[in-house]
Amino acid sequence: MTKLHELTQHGQSIWYDNIRRALIDSGELQALLDNGVMGVTSNPSIFEKAIAGSTDYDDAIQKLVADGQSDEEIYEALAIEDIQRTADLLRPIYADTNGVDGYVSLEVSPTLAHDTEGTVAEARRLFAALGRPNVMIKVPATPAGIPAIEALIGEGININVTLIFGLDSYEAVAAAYIAGLERLAADGGDVGPVASVASFFVSRVDSAVDKALADMNDETLLGKIAIANAKAAFVRANEIFAGDRWRKLAGQGARVQRLLWASTGTKNPDYPDTLYLDELIGPDTVNTVPPATLNAFLDHGTVASTLGQGIDQAQSQLKQLARLGIDLKAITKTLQEEGVASFAASFTSLMAGVAHKRGLLMGGGLNRLAGAQ
C-alpha cells in the first residue's frame, strides 16, 4: 500500500496532472494507477509539451497529414485517442468506485472561454466523440463558462470546472452544478451517473499574494493565503452540499461536486515541495498533481486529515490580509484572466507546433528530426 492508497482512507483521491502517449505505451501510466493514482487531468499546456515538444506523435501526424487533416483536426484526433486510451485504463477504477473516480479530463478550446454557446457546442461534441462514461470535459469558471456548466450538467455531461481561484467564483460554480442537476431531473433524466469536480487553483494564489505582501514589506502572511483560501472554499462546500436543495437531489442519487485542488506544485523553492498536498487532505476532495510533486509526496509527504484543521486560523489570516488593504477578490479575478490567457497561448503554440511538424513532413524533414532526437 502506498501513501496514495492511504489518502483514500481520508476521503481524498490523487489524480495525475499529466498525459503523453509514451506514458500509455510504456506502461508507466498503468504503474501509476497500480500505485494509487485514481484519475488523470490534462490541459492545453500539457498537450503542447506532449505533442509539439516530443516525437511521440510523429507517425500519427504523418498519417493524419496524408489524410488531409487540418492542424486543429490533427490535434483533436491525437488528443481524443490519448483520452480514450487513458479512459480505458481507468475504467476498472471507475467501476470499482461506482463512478466516484476513474476519470480523465479533456478541455474545450481556451479560445472559447468567453463564448457560452461555443463552449456548450464543443463540450457536447467532444463528449460524444470520446464515447466513454468516465471522461470529463473541462470548462473554465469564467462568466461565460458558468451558464455553459449549468447547461451541460443539465444534459448529463460530466464536467471538470477549471480555473477557479476565488470563493465567489467557486460559489457560482457550485450553484451552476446544482441548477444543472435540477434541470436534468426536471427533464426526467437520471442525476445519479453525473459527476463533476470544481478545480480550485492553489499555488498561484500564494505567488500573487506573496508579491503583494513583499511590496508592503510584510512577511507575516507569506505562504499562508493559498491554503487559507482553499480551506474557506472547503467550509463553503460543506455548507452548500448540506442545504435543502442539495438534500433533495441527493435523495435522487446525485453526487457531490468534489473540490479538486489544482496547481499544487510548489512554485516558491523556499516552501516545502509537498506543501499543497500535506495541508489540503480531507473528505470529498481530489488533488491533481504534476509528476515531480507526486514523486515528492510518495517519498516524504505526510498523510493526515489536515483540511478541516485550523479553520479559525485560516479565516483570521484572510481577515488580516483584508486589513492590510490587499484585495484577494481582485487578485483571484486577475489570476483567472491570466490563466485563460496562458492556456490560450499554449493552444496557439500547440497549433504552431503541429503546423511546424506538418511543414517538416511535407519537406521530408520530420523523420530526420525524429531520428536526431
Residue owning grid cell 451552476: 176
| Distance (Å, whole) CA 293 – CA 280 | 14
Active centre residues (catalytic): 138
Q: What are phi and psi of 75, to 5 degrees?
A: -55, -50
Residue owning grid cell 481524443: 80
Question: What's at 313, amino acid-wise?
Answer: Q
| Distance (Å, whole) CA 239 – CA 59 | 51
| Distance (Å, whole) CA 191 – CA 244 | 17
* Cell numbers found for residue 175: 450553484
